[in-house]
Amino acid sequence: MSPRALVSVSDKTGVAELARGLADLGFEIVSTGSTANAIREDGVKVREVSEVTGSPEMMDGRVKTLHPAIHGGILADRSNPGHMKELEQYGFAPIDLVVVNLYPFERTASSGASDDEVVEQIDIGGPTLIRAAAKNFRSVTVVVSPERYDEVLQSLKAGGTDEGMRRSLASDAFEHVATYDAAIAAWFARGRRAEQLPAGRALGLERVSELRYGENPHQRAALYREVLSPGPLGGAEVLQGKEMSFNNWLDAEAARALAAALDPPAAVIVKHHNPCGAAAAGSGAAAYRAAFESDTVSAFGGVVAFNTELDEEAARAMAEVFTEVVIAPGYAPGALKEFAGKKNLRVVRAPLPETGGLEIRPIEGGGLIQDADAVTEARDEMKVVSKREPTDEEWADLLFAWTVAARVKSNAIVFASGRATVGVGAGQMSRVDSVEIASRKAGERSRGAVMASDAFFPFRDGIDKAAEAGIAAVIQPGGSVRDEEVVSAADGHGMAMVFTGRRHFRH
C-alpha cells in the first residue's frame, strides 16, 4: 500500500514543492479545497478528501475532514493489531503524514473585520487534524511549518522520519495549536473587564528574533510577540543602530512607560530598569537636559524615552552623552539626521503604551497576575495632613514626583524640583537608606525640593533625614501605625505633608 499524506494548509508557502517531492516518493496525496487546487495546478495528482470520506464538504466548508475515514487513518496505532484490523474492517487506509496549518485568525481579527468574519476564521478541522496526528506521533508525522518541509522530505528520502524527529514535530504542532487558541481566547476577552481575575490565562507568544544573549552572556534569549498584539512595545521599530539586547528591551519598556505617564513634553532616562532622571518641561530638549542633570553619572549608557515627537533640538541636546537607546513615538527628519552619525545608538520608534489591563509575572512553576498599576490619584483626592499647606509650586512637584516614584523599584524615594528629579533612591531594603541615597545624589539641589515615597514611612527617621537635606514637602500614602509620629516630625521641620491613601510598590 502506498504511503498517504493529508495536506491542507492556509499558508501555501512551499506546499507545491512539498507535494511534488512526496509524489516522487510514491505518496498518495489527499487534500481539500484551495490546497488541492494549488497542488493540482503544479501538475501533481491529488485526491479530494470528499473522495476518501464519501461525504461532500458541508456548511460552507465548516465540515469536511471531521470523518472517521480521516481520523481513523490518523489515530490508528500501527503497533496495535486491533486498530489495524478495524481500519481494514471499515475500509479505511492509514494516513502517514499530516501537513496542516491553520486559518489566518489573528490576521483577520487585527484587520478590523466584522465579528462574523473573525468567527469564520476559527479553525475546527485543522486543530483537530494536528492534535490527532501529534498524539499519534509514534506512527504519524505531523508538519505545521513550511520551514520544516525540506527537513522532512530529506528524512523521507533517507528511509523515513525517526521517532525523535516525529516527537519534535509533534511538539511544534501542539505549540502551533496552543498559540492559535490563545489568540482566539484573547479576542473573546478584548474589552471585557471581568469581576474576578480569570480562572485561567492562555498566553500565546511567537518568537520574533533570537537575541545575542540574555541578561548575561551565558544565558540564551529571544524576543517574542504576544498574539493579537502589534508586537513588543506596541510594534516598536528599530530605525537605526545595532540589534537591541535583552536588557535594552527591558529598559526601553521601563523608560517608555514612565514617559507616557508624565505630562508632555517629558524625557526619562533609565538605567538598569530604574529611572535615574525624569523631567517635564517646555520642550523635549529642555526636558532631556533637566532629566540628565538629575544624575549625570548614571545617565551614561542609559536608555532615553520621550513622550512626544523628538525634534532636532532634543537630538542635539543628547549629542555629547553616550546613550544605548532612544525611544519616542516619532522623530523629526532633522533628529534622525542628527543621530545618523551615532552608529552605536539604537533609535526606536514606538507608540505610547496603552494603560490598564493585566500584568503577568512568571515564577517557578506558575505565575502571578494582577491589574496593571497606574497612578490615578488626583490632587483633590489627596489629604494634607501637616499644619502647613503645600504651595502651588510644591503641589506641581509633589504630583510629578509621585508619578515617578511609582516607576522606581521599592523602596522608592524621589526628590524633585521644577518638575524634574534631582535625586532617586531605589531598591533598598530600608526606606531611610533610599532617602540617604536620594539626598547624596541631589546634593545642594535638594534644598527646597519635594520628596515622594512609594509607601508609608514606618518611622520618623526618613523625615528627619529629608529635613537635613532641605526637603520642603513630602508626599506618601500614609497608613503606618506611626503616622502621627511621622506627621509630627514633618510639622517640627516646617514641612508640608500629603497623604495619597494608595501605595505604589514596584518589586
pLDDT above 90: residue 332: yes
Cell numbers for 384: 494634607
Q: How confident is the model at residue 450 (pLDDT cuts 50, 70, 90)?
A: very high
Residue 61 has pLDDT above 70, yes or no: no
Mean pLDDT of 250-275: 97
Distance from the first to the final alpha carbon of the chain:
63
Task: Provide CATH code, domain 237-349.
Answer: 3.40.140.20
Average pLDDT score over residue span 258-268: 97
What is the per-residue pLDDT across 6-25, written as a single tens digit (0 to 9) for each?
999 988 999 989 999 999 99
| Residue 193 pLDDT > 70 | no
Cell numbers linked to 241: 543602530
Give the count of beta carbons closer than 10 Å to the beta carbon of residue 402. Answer: 26
pLDDT tens, residue by residue, 34-58 = 888 888 888 888 888 777 766 767 6
Alpha-carbon distances, residue 310 vs 181, 244, 340, 396 (angstroms):
39, 20, 14, 24
pLDDT value at position 79?
A: 83
- What's the pLDDT at 60? 64
Q: Which has the higher per-residue pLDDT, 68 or 454?
A: 454
CA angle, corner 222, sides to 216 and 223, nearest 5? 115
For residue 1, pLDDT over 90 is answered with no
The neighbour count for residue 205, using CB atoms within 10 Å, is 16
Catalytic sites, residue numbers: 135, 272
* Over residues 85-100, mean pLDDT: 87
- The tens digit of pLDDT for each residue in 415-443 reads 999 999 999 999 999 999 999 999 999 99
pLDDT-derived band at 208, boundaries 50, 70, 90: very high
Give per-residue pLDDT as tens, 128-160. 999 999 999 999 999 999 999 999 999 999 988
H-only helix segments in 5-48: 15-24, 33-41
**Separation between Cα atoms, residue 248 and residue 231, nearest integer Å:** 16
DSSP H helical segments within 160-218, as ranges?
Answer: 163-189
Determine the average pLDDT of the residues in 200-205: 84
pLDDT tens per residue across span 458-484: 999 999 999 999 999 999 999 999 999
- Confidence bin at 358 (pLDDT 50/70/90): confident
Residue 327's pLDDT is: 98
In CATH terms, the fold of domain 4-189 is Rossmann fold (3.40.50)
- Its pTM stands at 0.86
Of 82-86, 215-219, 256-260, 495-499, least confident by mean pLDDT is 82-86
* Grid coordinates of 77: 496505532
Homologous superfamily of domain range 381-499: AICAR transformylase, duplication domain (3.40.140.20)
Q: E strands, 227-312, where?
A: 237-240, 266-271, 274-280, 302-306
- The segment(s) of the chain belonging to CATH 3.40.140.20 are 237-349, 381-499
- pLDDT at site 89: 86
pLDDT at site 194: 63
pLDDT value at residue 191? 66
Residues above pLDDT 90, as percent of the chain: 71
Q: Which residues of the chain are in CATH 3.40.50.1380 domains? A: 4-189
How large a percentage of the chain has pLDDT more than 70? 97
471 Ramachandran zone, left/alpha/beta (phi>0; psi -120 to 50): beta
For the beta carbon of residue 188, count every other beta carbon within 10 angstroms.
Answer: 12
483 and 477 Cβ atoms separated by less than 8 Å: no
